Amino acid sequence: MAKKRRKSKGISTTALIVLLIMVVGTALAFTGLFLDWTVLQSSSEYFEGKDTSFNQTLSEWGTDSDVEYLIPTNIFAWTAAVAVALALVLYLLKVLMRQKVLGTVCGIMGIVAVVSAVLAIVFTSLMGKSVWEMDLGDLAKSAVVPAVGCYLLMSGGIIGGGAALAGAFKG
C-alpha cells in the first residue's frame, strides 16, 4: 500500500532562495538610483581614463531639463526599481497566502523590471551621446557613458526580475 504524503505547510527552500535573490536585486536596483549614473570617459594617444569631475547621479541630471532622453531614462530607471520591489512583495504574499494569481502578477512585474532595466541603460547611452561626444580621430575621443549606478540598476532589475519570473513558475 502506498502511503500518502502530507504537504508541508512551511516555506520551501526554493522559495527562500528566490526571495533572497529578489531582495538582492531590489537592493542593487535602488542603490544604483542614487550612485553615479554617468561619467565622462576620454581616450587619446597620450591619456586614457575617466574624468571623475563629470560624474553625475540621476537626480543631478534632473536639474537640467533640456537634456534629450532624460525623461525616458528617469521613467525606465524608476520603473525597474519599483517593479523589482513590487515583485518581491507579491512573491512574499504568494508564498505566505499560497495564491497562484499573485505568482502570475509577480511574473509580470519581473518582465517589467527586466525590460525597464535594459531600456534604462539604452536611454542612458543615448542621453550621453546627445550631451557630449567628441571624436578627434587618433588625437582624442570622449563621451558620456553609463557609470556604476546605471549598471547596478540594470543588474538588480535583471537579477530581481529573473528571480520573479522563476518564482512565478516555481516555488
Q: Which amino acid is at 148?
A: V
pLDDT at position 41 is 77
Cα three-residue angle 131-136-142, rounded to 5 degrees = 40
Q: Which residues, in sequence order, are CB contacts of 90 under 8 Å at separation 6+?
A: 102, 103, 105, 106, 109, 164
What are the grid coordinates assigned to 64, written together?
537640467
d(CA 109, CA 131): 32
The pLDDT tens digits of the residues spanning 2-29 come to 666 655 567 788 889 999 999 999 999 9
120-139, pLDDT tens digit by residue? 999 998 988 887 666 566 66
Identify the band that residue 103 occupies on the pLDDT scale cut at 50, 70 and 90: confident
The grid cell for 102 is 499573485
